[in-house]
Amino acid sequence: MLGWLRRALGGARPVEEPPAVVKARSPEPADREAAAGLLAPIPELWAGERLLKLLQDPYTTVRAAAREALLRRGVLAAPELLTGLNHADVEVARVSAELLGELRAVEVVRPLVVALKYAPRPVQVAARKALARLGPLAVPELEAARDDPQHWVRQQVAEVLAEIAGPPHSDRTPSPAA
């Protein structure tokens, strides 16, 4: 109906969807998998949103391609991954948490700490690992969460901080070889 209305009012021709979007909607898994690769370099937010939708695909290969494409987007993927962190589909939220840990961006730390506290268990585990991967970037937010009222959160925060600090150093110096 909108097309008819545009023509009647003398509006412009309808804009064609990019080939990547058409492929992402295809009934063929191979097309959807290919779409992930086509969407990865597109800097617009809509491309990342399409990739999040592909993380819900019933085919493992399509989900893997979408994950890889989001990873290749790097920091460009931050907005959609932050959205994905709160997704109703736990698997999308879990993958989003994992990928946020790869970004090395300070703005993802606070949402990961919130996920560590309140998200479903698989997302909490992924958020914990992501915070450890972020290393020193995560320390200020983790330090602020040390006094959380929930024992489990305090324990997780302490473990992540210990992991970031690395293994304890021995007081003994190695003896020289004889």
Domains in the chain, please, with CATH?
Answer: 16-74 (1.25.10.10), 86-165 (1.25.10.10)
What distance in Å separates the CA atoms of residue 83 and residue 56, rounded to the nearest whole number?
Answer: 14
Range 100-121 average pLDDT: 96
* CA dihedral sign of residues 111, 137, 160, 93: positive
Of 80, 31, 19, 17, give the one whose Cα is nearest residue 53: 80
Are the C-beta atoms of 85 and 111 separated by less than 8 Å? yes
Query: pLDDT (tens digit, 9 = 90+) per residue, 29-62?
Result: 999 999 999 999 999 999 999 999 999 999 999 9
Q: Is the pTM of this model over 0.85?
A: no
CB atoms within 10 A of CB 21: 16
Q: What is the DSSP letter of 120?
A: -
CB atoms within 10 A of CB 175: 6
Of 106, 66, 65, 72, give the one whose Cα is nearest residue 84: 66
What's the one-letter identity of residue 101?
A: G
More confident residue, 173 or 26: 26
* pLDDT confidence of residue 146: 93
What distance in Å separates the CA atoms of residue 21 and residue 38, rounded to the nearest whole number?
Answer: 9
